[in-house]
A and B are shown apart, each in its own frame.
Chain A
């Protein structure tokens, strides 16, 4: 996963390099500042210079501090900028992917928000805290050595010798604790979801009068969690122990070593003090890296989910585009249609052939998950069949440009979606050529005019103003209005399963009746009325071929259909 996260950076590495450069400049200024400070202390203690003599030196140190701050600030801001850019890039990628694959599995919007927002946010620290630190934990020690080695070989060697020990021991302990972690992980995660589970299932606990006893269980789970976590942490924190121990011990070793050599005139005070001051700075980046490792791991975990979403399977597509002259469609022919979802083994629709004709009404019936909606989604070209062909008057629909194809279809979804924008915007998407006069007529037909008149800007009102006050009946009517604005030859209609108010329901069936005359209409039917009124039925069943026929044929010949009608519409047909 690390490489994949780094890959996002490699696409535009300039800013990152620049930010590292800023940090490096800051480091060099720091080293210079430390040199000046040791010179200052030397001059004060051993040359007894007065404050006046030292003012130049002090001024220079102040200037260095100012620039150091600015360099580090710029580096920090740059890494944040980079992280923001990458986050936006990933979000756009996610949106593209969602646009392509939404049809596979209608994902709950809440989950989408989690991926789009929370998961993407979680990777920010990886770019702002972790990655720069990885580079710096090499760059800064090397820069320090560059100054220390010519000055004092022995201290330089102490640095060189101890520095690699830190990552080495951390790696060893990391490996060891990882094993233990994995063993404990299962039970730990069981325990941590325990509380979540308790809150989610609270109502059940309440119903069974168990909520007080459950308090005890939570307490026990807490104690258990505490004990297990502590035994894991004892090992996990060992790496931090080694880190601290090695770095402070090395500083102590260096301090004693240079102190003794200073005593025997092997080194000047200024040099010795410089090395003492620089020693903590040498180990600091390695220490920070250890501290930030955890944040990085969270990012990597979050990215796994993002990655699997971006690279999830898609329906394969083959699109050639040919213009299709707009005429009234005579027939819609389905041949050997097989549809399989990329994440499933067996096809949901298998080898289905049928010819839909102009002017006839078809009802699609069957229980949930039998493939009715899938079939609609193929007709709407949201998803693509594994095999088979669908053609309009002999022309494969894959070869028709989306514009020409969709203009042949009117679609009334089960729950028409209203997007953010004005009510006019929401209607005109169906046919931008309509003018307001026409629009008003249509709104009258679907009896939305009174409702819209209650708003100050009438149909120019932003839909957000309607807020939650839009009922499912009004939603349906907006869908209906969209339908009336286009005059296409095929009508796809998905009857709502939920209860509508009786007035909306009557209105919808009346409008549809008028509108669908002479048209080819396919309805996913949930009302016995629609099923009986259709010229022909398509009966969908799970893992079985689709059966067609008139209502009377099916009810007298097909036991499964009889049962289905009985389950669905009660005892009415017992008689």
Chain B
């Protein structure tokens, strides 16, 4: 965790230093305020002349004001540092995502990656402001107070150090370790509860129909209770640690008091100082009282940063040199290509694929789920390069080409195109950076969308229907202008009418391009020059719609559904 932090904090050292110094000044202000006040009052108790008191009165006034001001500047500074650290975290995660995206998606699901990244970065938000900065400040303050006590007598220093070890190190250490034991139960209760909510939500209809609502509710209530029990347990434990560190603090205070009285009795300590010391020690507990909650936070932050490290540790494909690609990529040839997913030794996702695409050809890829369509596309896109056999773009092996170059030549439009929550213009410019407004307006007209370039799209393109989103994404593909355009299950979320319109649109706008169209809905199939029927990782039939229909085979089976 600390290692992580150091890496992100690289450019903010001076900021961190200033924020910690300010934090120390803030706490010192109140310690000195109370110390000087005690000195003032004890001195006044001896009824000296007012002149003697003057200096301490000035001191009291100064520190009375300084604390508030230090605190204000410190908070601003700490948050500023925190923002910039978080910014670094985001940048670093994002850049690491670029290299490992598909490896990540293989390991976790897309939504898991999302929640790991978002939640864990939010956790790290606490790292500096609530954990590291207060911890360092508390250590520094304790050292200063220790020095002050040590100057008076070694015994006082000894008691203070023991007390600090107890409150600042031993109790938090125990609470983290014992806490992690009960945390297992708590996580279990949480998982049980969440899965019973999912169960509840999914089963409601059936429960009503089969008259078992009460059983369903009972199951959820059982888990609500279980969660309540475990959370209460954890809460009580937290309070126990809180209580222990309170006792340890007060114990230090009592011991310091007893020893200083003893020393004063012996004449080894100025009587005046007995009062001052006791107030200084009492006030310095301000920095120690947060330690129990910091210990609790530590556990959460640590597990977050572990998960982030896990993501960072995933190996990634290094780019294959800087080989230039010749202008011509056709024909694209698959020669005896097979693919086995890492970890699935006996199951070939693709087996002996032989196929050739020419320029301008329109190809459909059909088959049931799991037939190998997606893997096939991922090979073309260069996402998976650990295939057997050979794939050639004209005369160059696909494996040896930089991914960036491959992505320039192959456009890819997925079933759920993502639209960013910014303007229409910005979204279109992603596909073609230097396009002028006229070109963008033209392309929107081409796909029959009547949209203003300055319109802001709500999150996830919510103010567009799914048909409009598809058309918008097609507009992006037109702008992107790749040699080969791949469409992946475009019809999946569309009603038949919109799907039909989309098929017409593609037929019109991509007439010059090589089109690879993955689908399981059979709309406008006459358009394709070659239909590849995938079944269990193999191409079992290929040809034109009309020819395939007269054969009996997988194609007619799929078509007749």
State the A residues within 8 Å of B (CB): 37, 40-41, 44-46, 48, 50-51, 54, 58, 61-62, 65-66, 69-70, 72-73, 76-77, 80-81, 84-85, 87-88, 91-92, 95-96, 98-99, 102-103, 107, 109-110, 112-113, 116-117, 128, 190, 193-215, 218-219, 222-223, 225-226, 229-230, 233-234, 237-238, 240-246, 248-249, 251-253, 255-256, 258-260, 262-263, 265, 269, 272-273, 276-277, 280, 367-369, 380-382, 402-403, 406, 409, 411, 413, 416-417, 419-420, 429-430, 498-499, 501-502, 527-528, 563-564, 567-568, 570-571
Contact = CB atoms under 8 A, between A and B. Distances in A.
B45 A262 contact: yes
16 contacts: A44-B271, A58-B254, A61-B254, A95-B217, A113-B194, A196-B118, A202-B101, A203-B101, A222-B87, A244-B72, A245-B69, A248-B65, A255-B64, A276-B37, A417-B202, A567-B497
A413 B45 contact: no
Contact of A99 (B34, B204, B219): B204
Contact of B68 (A40, A88, A248, A501): A248
Contact of A259 (B44, B94, B213): B44
A208 B476 contact: yes
A272 B45 contact: yes
B298 interface: no
B41 A262 contact: yes
Given A40-B257, A65-B254, A197-B420, A212 B98 contact: yes
B332 interface: no
Contacts of B446: none
B108 interface: no
Interface centre among B42, B231, B525 (most CB of A within 10 A): B42
A200 B194 contact: no
Contact of B411 (A54, A205, A207, A218): A207
A563 B499 CA distance: 13
The 5 closest A-B pairs by CB, nearest first: A252-B64, A567-B496, A245-B68, A222-B87, A244-B68
Interface string B33-68: 110011011111101101001001100110111011
B197 A117 contact: yes
Interface string B455-475: 000011000000000000000
B210 A77 contact: no
B45 A570 contact: no
Given A77-B235, A249-B64, A498-B369, 6 more contacts: A45-B45, A58-B257, A193-B421, A214-B94, A367-B495, A406-B209
A45 B53 CA distance: 18
B111 interface: yes
B6 interface: no
A245 B61 CA distance: 11
A205 B430 contact: yes
> A81, A248, A269, A420 — which one has the most chain B CB atoms within 10 A of its CB?
A248
Given A76-B242, A567-B497, A226 B80 contact: yes
B325 interface: no
Contacts of B204: 98-99, 102-103
B221 A46 contact: no
Interface of B: 29-30, 33-34, 37-38, 40-45, 47-48, 50, 53, 56-57, 60-61, 63-65, 67-69, 71-72, 75-76, 79-80, 83-84, 86-87, 90-91, 94-95, 97-98, 101, 111, 113-114, 117-118, 121, 190, 193-213, 216-217, 219-221, 224-225, 227-228, 231-232, 235-236, 239-240, 242-243, 246-247, 250, 254, 257-258, 261-262, 264-265, 271-272, 274-275, 278-279, 283, 368-369, 404, 407-408, 411-414, 417-422, 430-431, 433, 459-460, 476, 480, 495-497, 499-500, 520, 522-523, 525-526, 557, 559-561
A252 B60 CA distance: 6
Contacts of B37: 251-252, 255, 259, 276
Contact of A81 (B208, B232, B265, B499): B232
Nearest to A198: B94
Nearest to A211: B98
Contacts of A260: 44, 50, 53
Given A102-B205, A215-B91, A80 B559 contact: no
B559 A570 contact: yes
B461 to A, nearest CB: 10
B94 A197 contact: no
A277 B57 contact: no
A219 B496 contact: no
B45 A568 contact: no
Contact of B430 (A72, A84, A210): A210
B79 A199 contact: no
Contact of B63 (A66, A103, A252): A252
A98 B404 CA distance: 48
B411 A51 contact: no
B111 A269 contact: no
B239 A80 contact: yes
Contacts of A72: 243, 246
Nearest to A245: B68
B232 A84 contact: yes
B210 A51 contact: no
Interface centre among A202, A226, A277, A502 (most CB of B within 10 A): A202
B105 to A, nearest CB: 9
B561 A499 contact: yes
Given A210-B430, A272-B44, A570-B522, A413 B206 contact: yes
A113 B65 CA distance: 49
Nearest to A96: B217
Contact of A98 (B201, B211, B221, B228): B201
Contact of B274 (A41, A215, A420): A41
B41 A80 contact: no
Contacts of A382: 205, 208
Most chain A beta carbons < 10 A, residue from B63, B236, B414, B561: B561
Given A80-B239, A269-B45, A248 B101 contact: no
A251 B224 contact: no
Nearest to B47: A263
Contacts of B559: 570
Contacts of A88: 224-225, 227-228
Given A193-B421, A201-B420, A380-B205, A92 B44 contact: no
B40 A259 contact: yes
B476 A259 contact: no
B312 to A, nearest CB: 15
B278 to A, nearest CB: 7
Contacts of B208: 99, 380-382, 402
Given A226-B80, A230-B79, A411-B209, A272 B499 contact: no
B41 A98 contact: no
A431 to B, nearest CB: 9
A512 B559 CA distance: 23
Contacts of A116: 193-194, 197
Nearest to A502: B557
Contact of B72 (A241, A429, A563): A241
A499 B197 contact: no
A80 B45 contact: no
B525 A570 contact: yes
Given A201-B420, A237-B72, A76 B239 contact: yes
A262 B43 CA distance: 9
Nearest to A41: B275
Contacts of A429: 206, 210, 212
A36 to B, nearest CB: 11
Nearest to A415: B202
A117 B417 contact: no
Contact of A58 (B48, B63, B236, B258): B258
Contacts of B212: 429
A226 B84 contact: yes
Contact of B264 (A44, A199, A256): A44
A427 B296 CA distance: 46
A47 B262 CA distance: 15
Contacts of B414: 203
Contacts of B45: 45-46, 262, 269, 272
